[in-house]
Amino acid sequence: MQYRQLGGSGLEVSALTLGTMNFGEQVDSTAAFDLLDVALANGINCFDTAESYASPMREATQGASERILGQWLQRVPREKVLIASKVSGPAAKLRYLRGGPQLIRQQIRDAVFASLERLGIDCLDLYQVHWPARSTNYFGRLGYSARDDGGATPILHTLESLAELRADGHVRHLGVSNETPWGVMHYLALAERHGLPRIASVQNPYSLLNRVLEVGLSEVFDREELGLMAYAPLCDGVLSGKHRHGDSPSVSRLARWPAYYNRYTGDAVASVVERYCTLAEDNALAPADMALAWVLSRPEVSTAVIGVSCEVQLLQNVQAAERVLAPAVRKAIGRIHAEYPNPCP
């Protein structure tokens, strides 16, 4: 397993991070413990969760992923692992969470203390803003237009609140997720202007089907010493090929919750996925291996956040993390992307 610097944080993260959003819904605690044990045994040292997980997000399972991860952490030396979690931004469907989550001081404090209690630890290695408070484009939204932010919490207030948690020793490093180039640069500018801690990482989607961050964020990662935690590198399993020809496994997320996990579906997407899968197979590669190895080959990426539901998937991902793609395969990927750019932004 490779280890890489997470931006300027000084943290050395494994090339793969095990995401836990499946824990507490698709994966029960017994299966989760086994997956966590196998991940650690294979060199994965970073584990990512959020106060809103399990996913799909609903009141009955809110916090379940953190609780399961916390139970496992009681069996593991704390210094062997890096734990990342997230505080929710505003969302109408999360009214059950503090009456509607807001990125204000008291709510952030309540959120982090609740997460720490569920995890059974006294400090998070990385604490991330899950999505912005302001109106902007994320989760695949296109067609930006000027919007009235209304009572959206200013980024400065959020950053000051996070800085207070860091100063008190509750979190070591700060990050953002589902952010835009403007948002990332605003966090950095405010940190410099007000003497506040810099964010260390950005957790955004990045895959063969979604390379939009290369337009603006790649330069930010390079020039500002930030680490990319690339989530959905296999696009909810679509790039593994297991959903080809409409033949989704009945236990998969796409089969069980099609309305929730529809970001990487549709006839147009299926055509592009078929091209990538065929390319992989023509070169004696598993489609998932090729897709994940490509993400990990990109200079922006500090770690790829994987979500698995069984040990076979996990070990396949570990194997893919060690693969180096041939130049001819990389060039062919570039040709497909030029013909079908970013079908799933």
Catalytic site positions? 53
Q: Would you call 234 exposed, middle or buried from its count of C-beta atoms within 10 A (0-12, 13-18, 19+)?
A: buried
Short-list 345, 331, 243, CA closest to 287: 243
Short-list 288, 233, 238, CA closest to 261: 238
Cβ proximity of 22 and 314 under 8 Å: no
Q: Which tokens sit at 45?
A: 């040292």
Under DSSP, the state recorded for 95 is T
3-state helix, strand and coil shares in percent for the chain, rounded to the nearest 5 = 40, 15, 40
Q: Would you call 242 exposed, middle or buried from its count of C-beta atoms within 10 A (0-12, 13-18, 19+)?
A: middle
Helical H segments across the chain, by residue range: 29-41, 64-73, 105-119, 155-167, 181-194, 213-224, 253-256, 267-282, 287-297, 311-320, 327-339
- CA angle (6 as vertex; 305, 234 as ends), nearest 5: 20
Q: Which tokens sit at 269?
A: 């997407």
Distance CA 144, CA 210 (A): 17
Q: Would you call 162 exposed, middle or buried from its count of C-beta atoms within 10 A (0-12, 13-18, 19+)?
A: buried
- What crossing angle do the helices spanning 327-339 and 267-282 adopt, rounded to 10°? 160
